[in-house]
């Protein structure tokens, strides 16, 4: 706690002694040399290259490294970033997830009710540190928000990213190799599309360029999360004995990005007093993000496989009887379009749908299908200030085909750190 307090005090002192857009200069760490006037020596295509996802009001991308709250000398630079985001939510129909629009939490046959919720949990703080290592740039990035589950409260500080990259190796916690951040929907709502893979987890990843300009291949070993719906007559625990193995092919140009990722994983379950039962699961995630003219961007995703439900907050294995269970298959798709309406206006529309296999014997109240649609309009009245409104519609269908839908209106107001 004392160290954390010192860090906060240092950040406040640096902030108070800076001017927006200026670089704060510390005494040089090296024996000789001058403090750089800009940060070009710390920027690389790997960290800061052009991306079709780069647009104003993108709440998933990392803050740009140029300008703002920067501490630098000739050998290292630290960029402090983040934003404050206040969400004002009004639910017009019953839904049990009040802070995010999680359509799987829509209750079936619920008595009509409405709900209002104000929070600022999506607010973020990040530290992007870079330094030269011979002829390349190393990076250490840490980011947190307030979507943790603290004791007696739900706005605990939560780690989002904590990773380091040097050369072709990335180690730590960040976006899983199975996802594509450039295809994440640009919604004000934190939850996002029902089929979108937006998981961050511990990993070690190697990325290699291919012979085609703009193409790369990545392979990663990642933290294996296993979610098993345990049958009522069985006592036991899920086991994670091997890491998830993920391969990814990516093609990125100034005008578009395409990605195909495949995950192969082992699912384990150990009944009390017995040996571990093991099974193999797999999944495929196909994504794209393409510029349409100078102001538009179309993005899409198709995800399918068996035993990958935990990559989107669903079970990998579902109970099919008092003592039986089966691996659960799924298929999901998402499509969206974001348009820059002018210097200070953007709009986004997203459609998505997820279907889970009809496995015989499972509880009729289990999820069978769910839909998530959103449309918003966001304005930037001043530099580093935004506000927007969003309409959300969702539907849940159970295995017994009973269904319910919900609508939400959300307004957000926020400030980007300079």
Q: Is residue 230 very low, low, confident or very high in pLDDT (cuts 50, 70, 90)?
A: confident
- Residue 223 is predicted with a pLDDT of 96
The 10s digit of each residue's pLDDT in 282-325 is 999 999 999 998 899 999 999 999 999 999 888 999 888 888 88
From residue 6, alpha-carbon distances to 3, 130, 343 in Å are 5, 21, 40
Cβ pair 88, 118 in contact under 8 A: yes
- Residue 291 is predicted with a pLDDT of 93
Q: Is residue 252 very low, low, confident or very high in pLDDT (cuts 50, 70, 90)?
A: very high
Cβ pair 185, 392 in contact under 8 A: no
In sequence order, the β-bridge partners of residue 199 are none
- Residue 156 is predicted with a pLDDT of 87
- Residue 23 is predicted with a pLDDT of 40
pLDDT score of 29 more than 70 = no
The 10s digit of each residue's pLDDT in 111-166 is 999 999 999 999 999 999 999 888 889 999 999 999 987 666 677 889 999 999 99
In percent, how much of the chain has pLDDT > 90?
A: 62
From residue 322, alpha-carbon distances to 7, 89, 178, 316, 362 in Å are 53, 40, 33, 18, 10
Q: Is residue 281 very low, low, confident or very high in pLDDT (cuts 50, 70, 90)?
A: very high
Q: Is residue 64 very low, low, confident or very high in pLDDT (cuts 50, 70, 90)?
A: confident
pLDDT score of 24 more than 50 = no
Count CA atoms within 13 Å of residue 85 on its CB side: 28
pLDDT score of 385 more than 60 = yes
| Signed CA dihedral, 230, 234, 236, 241: sign only | negative
In percent, how much of the chain has pLDDT > 70?
A: 88
- Residue 22 is predicted with a pLDDT of 39
- Residue 11 is predicted with a pLDDT of 40
Q: Is residue 224 very low, low, confident or very high in pLDDT (cuts 50, 70, 90)?
A: very high
- Residue 332 is predicted with a pLDDT of 95
- Residue 56 is predicted with a pLDDT of 74
- Residue 36 is predicted with a pLDDT of 54
- Residue 347 is predicted with a pLDDT of 96
The 10s digit of each residue's pLDDT in 323-381 is 888 899 999 999 999 999 988 999 999 999 999 999 988 899 999 999 999 999 999 99
- Residue 14 is predicted with a pLDDT of 38
pLDDT score of 45 more than 80 = no
Compute the C-alpha angle 190/303/355, nearest 5°: 80
Count CA atoms within 13 Å of residue 384 on its CB side: 15
In sequence order, the β-bridge partners of residue 217 are 208, 249
Average confidence (pLDDT) over 411-415: 97
pLDDT score of 15 more than 50 = no
From residue 399, alpha-carbon distances to 117, 365, 371 in Å are 30, 6, 15
Count CA atoms within 13 Å of residue 30 on its CB side: 12
Q: Reduce the secondary structure of the chain to three states and give it as a string.
A: CHHHHHHHHHHHHHHHCCCCCCEEECCCCCCCCCCCCCCHHHCCHHHHCCCCCCCCCCCCCCCCCCCCEEEECCCEEEEEEEEEEEEEEEECCCCCCCCCCCHHHCCCCCCCCCEEEEECCCCEEEEEEEEEECCEEEEEEEEEEEEEEECCEEEEEEEEEEEEEECCEEEEEEECCCCCHHHCCCCCCCCCCCCCCCCEEEEEEEEEECCCCCEEEEEEEECCCCCECCCCCCCEEEECCCCEEEEEEEEEECCEEEEEEEEEEEEEEEECCCCCEEEEEEEEEEEEEEEECCCEEEEEEEEEEECCHHHHCCCCEEECCCCCEEECEEEEEEEEEEEECCCCEEEEEEEEEEEECCCCCCCCCCEEEEEEEEEEEEECCCCCEEEEEEEEEEEEEECCCCEEEEEEEEEEEEEECC
Q: Is residue 25 very low, low, confident or very high in pLDDT (cuts 50, 70, 90)?
A: very low
Q: Please state, in angstroms and rounded to a whole number, the distance separating the CA atoms of residues 110 and 402.
A: 12
| Of 5 and 254, more confident | 254
- Residue 346 is predicted with a pLDDT of 95
| Signed CA dihedral, 260, 124, 159, 138: sign only | positive
| Of 48 and 16, more confident | 48
Cβ pair 94, 56 in contact under 8 A: no
Q: Please state, in angstroms and rounded to a whole number, the distance separating the CA atoms of residues 72 and 82.
A: 18
pLDDT score of 6 more than 50 = no
The model's pTM: 0.86
């Amino acid at each position: 706690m004392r160290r954390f307090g010192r860090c906060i005090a240092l950040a406040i002192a640096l902030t108070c002694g800076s001017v927006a857009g200026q670089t704060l200069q510390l005494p040089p760490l090296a024996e000789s040399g001058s403090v750089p006037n800009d940060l070009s020596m710390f920027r690389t295509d790997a960290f800061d290259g052009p991306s079709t996802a780069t647009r104003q009001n993108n709440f998933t991308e990392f803050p740009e490294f140029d300008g703002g709250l920067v501490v630098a000398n000739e050998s290292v630079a630290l960029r402090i970033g983040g934003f404050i985001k206040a969400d004002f939510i009004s639910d017009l129909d019953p839904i049990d997830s009040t802070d995010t629009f999680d359509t799987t939490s829509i209750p079936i046959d619920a008595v009509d009710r409405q709900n209002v919720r104000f929070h600022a949990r999506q607010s973020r703080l990040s530290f992007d540190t870079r330094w030269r290592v011979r002829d390349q740039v190393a990076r250490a990035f840490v980011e947190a928000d307030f979507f943790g589950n603290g004791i007696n409260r739900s706005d605990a500080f939560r780690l989002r990213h904590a990773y380091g990259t040097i050369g072709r190796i990335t180690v730590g916690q960040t976006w899983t190799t199975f996802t594509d951040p450039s295809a994440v929907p640009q919604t004000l709502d934190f939850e996002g599309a029902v089929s979108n893979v937006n998981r961050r987890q511990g990993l070690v990843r190697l990325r290699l360029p291919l012979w085609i300009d703009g193409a790369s291949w990545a392979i990663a070993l990642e933290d294996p999360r296993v979610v098993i719906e345990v049958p009522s007559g069985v006592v036991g625990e899920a086991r994670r004995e091997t890491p998830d193995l993920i391969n990814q092919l990516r093609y990125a140009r100034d005008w578009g990005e395409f990605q195909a990722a495949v995950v192969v994983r082992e699912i384990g379950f150990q009944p009390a007093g017995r040996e571990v039962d093991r099974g193999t699961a797999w999944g495929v995630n196909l994504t794209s993000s393409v510029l349409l003219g100078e102001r538009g961007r179309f993005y899409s995703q198709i995800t399918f496989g068996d035993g990958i439900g935990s990559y989107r907050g669903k079970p990998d294995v579902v109970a099919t009887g008092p003592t039986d269970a089966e691996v659960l298959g799924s298929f999901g798709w998402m499509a969206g379009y974001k348009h820059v309406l002018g210097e200070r206006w953007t709009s986004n529309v997203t459609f998505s749908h997820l279907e889970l296999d009809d496995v015989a014997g499972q509880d009729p109240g289990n999820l069978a299908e769910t839909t998530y649609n959103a449309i918003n309009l966001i304005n930037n009245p001043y530099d580093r200030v935004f506000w927007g409104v969003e309409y959300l519609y969702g539907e849940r269908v159970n295995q017994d085909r009973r269904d319910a839908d919900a609508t939400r209106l959300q307004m957000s107001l926020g400030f980007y750190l300079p």
